[in-house]
Structure 1
């Protein structure tokens, strides 16, 4: 039983439990630190009924990991409340300072402790902000990307509704180009948004913009999807874009639903996912986005018999990777900790990645294969492309993906003058593009 004072009276409050979302988020942080899985997999396999706010909370906590560690270690009040779960402390502080701005119920012990320390925490944060200039990938503040689901609405209609709600649509100067656009995004006011420079279905908001409870999100008219994540589906697109497709590693389904939108629900898409829980999440995404021509299939892509899929023309391979390009990632210290283990991990990942692309090339009618990762490591990117070309180079050639994109791959795996890889591949960089780090390669069947 907790006691609070009101004047001369003491009021006894029945002790409450910390809400499930905070407890789940804390467990995910702990499991990720213990390397029990990637952040995304841990979130989607958590069993929590609504992964969107859970994902947002964990991602926000990861984004501010360095600041959170400083606050917890340097706020004197924490030294007097042990034992206290540090992962739960991170989540509660995140919600209080960078999330909703309040915590309930106040009679839950952990929440009460954080609220009692709120003044000290905010003072410590102000001091920290004045001392630090953060320029690492993990500390970049990415904007909020909102994808218009063109299966449900149009960019014009969504922009009109948002401006009616008080948002202001702005534009960058026409002659300033992509660099001018990036600078304009960095300077977005709290009520401003801008149409993306490259993708006419993507809107860009300040990082503080919240849409998790917006009716447009609930109806499937908009989705929260990083720009880099959209690029792989766009790279697969041909003109015209019609024919059966496979998304080989589909969950949670954002890229699959974009493929459906790019083909205007005119092409049949087979969404492959081997994990049962992630398969359920995938089905939920497909249903919510009104992607009516998508069939979800629980299977390992490597076990599919290509002869059973004679008419598949397009395959997207976006497999498991190190995830080192993701801005809101928990492993800001992991690179220095892994040491020799990193080399072994990358070797295992790249082996699987190569096998997946090579298997995709065995489908008899496939014309275009896109391989993508959210990794910054060459071992998972250009090195995989080089390895794959040694196996499928007689039938497929590497084609320049997204020619309008400014950032290309490394030339370290080129054999000039005729056999080049880097310039044909795409890289997105957090610091320069304000997206997650990403890599894309496009393989096209030789005629």
Structure 2
């Protein structure tokens, strides 16, 4: 037990003997974190400083300004002293912050933390490296950016806001300016307690640069005032949505422009605010929570169409960009990253084209960036106009009521003069680009689109020309009267080609004495001879091409004549063949008519036989009904002899035959076409007739047929005979 107590006491003493870890000051730690986000993720310095809870706003902005201005020199000092290689545990971002404070700031560091002690040890080496450094420091801007504050007109009107600020000790500069340049000069000379109403926007108040500390602490003013740069109001004002309109903000976060649109619309209508990033979407929801007109959408704006945002009339596009117009970026003096600009430009072009085509009710679209590079501005506008003819570029200067100084590049004619730029050193704002698009009327297209389509059509026509054009297919035969560019160039160069021969003789006389000059002259002569040979070869080619063209014309005419003769021969042959075919057709028709006549006769006979059978069947049915009445007549007819009955039957057959022949004659005269009946069926019918006759004979001889049936048959025949005799007498 004693040993255990000793061990515990020893462990307690060792724990007490360990040195306590001294933390790095919060200003340095927060600045290092913000610096990494600004450099790696290209975040906005001001928003990061304002969001940081542990960093005082005024001091944090000052530290970040110091670091960003001297960042290139700081990186050069780290490379010369090999600080990060010799001290691998030292955070490189924290090292940059400490070096900026030690070498370009106050010249001393706060605290006794390990990173601070490490950088102090290298102070002499850093000074020596700074004296040898060849890196030029970043350019210092000639102005101090004023503090712009926008009044939230949904909560507070302009007179009330001015009265509130005067109660806080601020003094309003009540001056009117006719020129924009005079206003800018007055802003540069504002006192520490003065503020002024903006020249263009009446709800925007301008404070001096020193007022940043006040507005950084004035959290109670958050709902009534919005800290927003003047350049950011240009896109929303030029969009100008009226009350009760439907607006789409495609890249809305953090929501400053969205809330300004709500103020312009008097909080009436609908604003669809879209943001893809989850963290930025939270900020958007915080800013827009007090505005019922704003509906937030956490979605990729390329996936949002008229279904998710129906009836959109006005669209604002403020996409991700390089941020080269931000004042903090200008202090960095960064090199242009062409690859990054290319990627950003592709995204910006997609967003603008999506806005033009996904919303059929859209009247006006405003495209803006906080960039000063034409790759993100004029070129995007030019590309969108080329491929979207139903929107035109409006003149932003005409939409702006008052004077503005900066416009787009003159290298883009028809586009640059219609777009606005905010230049930091002139307008005392961040760098901003704004372009306004309006939908064309029906059957109307913008000028850039029409020119592009015309050029595209000319290229298509040129591509449809022969392969011999544009130096292609030189081995192929050329068409007659074809344009020859090489011949035209040779004609213009004939006079020039003759000059070397004259210079040749002059140089030969002048340099005959010097041996060095002789060699030069020989080389010149050789070159001149080569050039003359080339000229002669070109002339020969000319003659060859002319002869080839003539031969082509002659061969073309011969081919045409031979083609005409062949056509004539073919036409004659075709005519003869047609006549022969017509004759054959006539013969075939005659043979067909004869065969058809024969077939008609056969079919007529067969039809007559069928009609006779039908009549017999009908007569049998009638005879069965009159069996009782015919019983007496049958007994009387028994006395008739078989010879008389046979004579009666023969007379009936003769009459039927005569009727058939008469009908055939009438059928031949009228050329009637009847249906064919097979010969086999005709034979069967004949067999049936024979069987009927045999039945008659058997009944007469007293065989199997009963007497009553026989009497019926005889009676019917007798009746028919009497009817026929009567008809003959009448005739």
Q: Under a length normalisation based on structure 2, what TM-score does the superposition of the two structures give?
A: 0.48
Check the 8 A contact 1:265/1:293 in 2, yes or no.
Answer: yes
Partner of 1:17: 23
Partner of 2:69: 66
For residues 36-77 of structure 1, give each alpha carbon's deviation from its aligned partner in whole angstroms, at most 9, with x where no partner exists.
Answer: 311239966x99665996799358613663358779999xxx
Bigger share in helix: 2
- Give the C-alpha shift of residue 93 in structure 1: 9.5
- Give the C-alpha shift of residue 281 in structure 1: 1.4
Let me know the Cα RMSD of the aligned residues.
Answer: 4.2
SS of the residue corresponding to residue 292 of structure 1 reads: coil
Partner of 1:305: 305
Partner of 2:44: 40
Q: Distance in 2 between matches of 1:375 and 1:221?
A: 29
Q: Distance in 2 between matches of 1:26 and 1:316?
A: 35
Check the 8 A contact 1:29/1:58 in 2, yes or no.
Answer: no
Give the structure with higher Rg (CA).
2
SS of the residue corresponding to residue 376 of structure 1 reads: coil
Q: Distance in 2 between matches of 1:92 and 1:25?
A: 10
Question: For residues 108 and 347 of structure 1, do their structure 2 counterparts lie closer, same or farther at Cα, with a shift above 3 Å needed?
Answer: same
- Give the C-alpha shift of residue 393 in structure 1: 2.5
Structure 1 residue 381 corresponds to structure 2 residue 377: yes
Structure 1 residue 201 corresponds to structure 2 residue 195: no
Q: Summarize the alignment of residues 95-174 of structure 1 with structure 2, pairs less than 5 Å apart.
A: 136-137=140-141, 140-172=143-175, 174=177
Q: Summarize the alignment of residues 217-366 of structure 1 with structure 2, pairs less than 5 Å apart.
A: 217=221, 219-238=222-241, 240-287=242-289, 290-329=290-329, 332-335=332-335, 338=336, 342-362=337-357, 363-366=359-362
SS of the residue corresponding to residue 368 of structure 2 reads: strand
Structure 1 residue 214 corresponds to structure 2 residue 208: no
Check the 8 A contact 1:366/1:445 in 2, yes or no.
Answer: yes
For residues 242-282 of structure 1, give each alpha carbon's deviation from its aligned partner in whole angstroms, at most 9, with x where no partner exists.
Answer: 31111101111111111111111112111111111111111
Q: Distance in 1 between matches of 2:391 and 2:28?
A: 51
SS of the residue corresponding to residue 208 of structure 1 reads: helix
Question: For residues 384 and 71 of structure 1, do their structure 2 counterparts lie closer, same or farther at Cα, with a shift above 3 Å needed?
Answer: closer
Structure 1 residue 432 corresponds to structure 2 residue 426: yes
Q: Distance in 2 between matches of 1:133 and 1:196?
A: 34
Check the 8 A contact 1:271/1:296 in 2, yes or no.
Answer: yes
Check the 8 A contact 1:61/1:94 in 2, yes or no.
Answer: no
Check the 8 A contact 2:70/2:137 in 1, yes or no.
Answer: no
SS of the residue corresponding to residue 152 of structure 1 reads: coil
Q: Distance in 1 between matches of 2:151 and 2:253?
A: 20
SS of the residue corresponding to residue 394 of structure 2 reads: strand
Q: How many residues align?
A: 400
Q: Distance in 2 between matches of 1:47 and 1:187?
A: 26
Structure with bigger RCO (C-alpha 8 Å, 6+ apart): 1
Choose the corresponding residue for 2:365, options 358, 365, 369.
369
Check the 8 A contact 2:247/2:271 in 1, yes or no.
Answer: yes
Partner of 1:125: none
Worse-matched range after superposition: 351-360 or 405-414: 405-414
Check the 8 A contact 2:272/2:309 in 1, yes or no.
Answer: no
Q: Distance in 1 between matches of 2:406 and 2:91?
A: 42
Choose the corresponding residue for 2:416, options 400, 405, 422.
422
- Give the C-alpha shift of residue 355 in structure 1: 0.9
Check the 8 A contact 2:253/2:283 in 1, yes or no.
Answer: yes
Q: Under a length normalisation based on structure 1, what TM-score does the superposition of the two structures give?
A: 0.76
- Give the C-alpha shift of residue 105 in structure 1: 9.1
Check the 8 A contact 1:14/1:107 in 2, yes or no.
Answer: no
- Give the C-alpha shift of residue 172 in structure 1: 4.4
For residues 197-249 of structure 1, give each alpha carbon's deviation from its aligned partner in whole angstroms, at most 9, with x where no partner exists.
Answer: 111111111112121221443x41111111001111111104x3431111101
Worse-matched range after superposition: 178-187 or 20-29: 20-29
Choose the corresponding residue for 1:28, options 30, 34, 59.
34
For residues 95-118 of structure 1, give each alpha carbon's deviation from its aligned partner in whole angstroms, at most 9, with x where no partner exists.
Answer: 99x99x9x9996766689999xxx
Question: For residues 306 and 406 of structure 1, do their structure 2 counterparts lie closer, same or farther at Cα, with a shift above 3 Å needed?
Answer: same
Question: For residues 173 and 387 of structure 1, do their structure 2 counterparts lie closer, same or farther at Cα, with a shift above 3 Å needed?
Answer: same
Bigger share in strand: 1
Partner of 1:441: 435
Check the 8 A contact 1:25/1:54 in 2, yes or no.
Answer: no
Q: Distance in 2 between matches of 1:308 and 1:39?
A: 30
Partner of 1:4: none
Q: Distance in 1 between matches of 2:76 and 2:161?
A: 44
- Give the C-alpha shift of residue 421 in structure 1: 1.3
Q: Distance in 1 between matches of 2:138 and 2:50?
A: 35
Check the 8 A contact 2:422/2:429 in 1, yes or no.
Answer: yes
Partner of 2:660: none
Check the 8 A contact 1:52/1:212 in 2, yes or no.
Answer: no
For residues 127-186 of structure 1, give each alpha carbon's deviation from its aligned partner in whole angstroms, at most 9, with x where no partner exists.
Answer: xxxxx999655x6421111111111212222222222222211144535x2111111111
- Give the C-alpha shift of residue 365 in structure 1: 0.8
Worse-matched range after superposition: 191-200 or 392-401: 392-401
Residue segments in structure 2 that go unaligned for 5+ positions in a row = 1-18, 121-135, 442-731
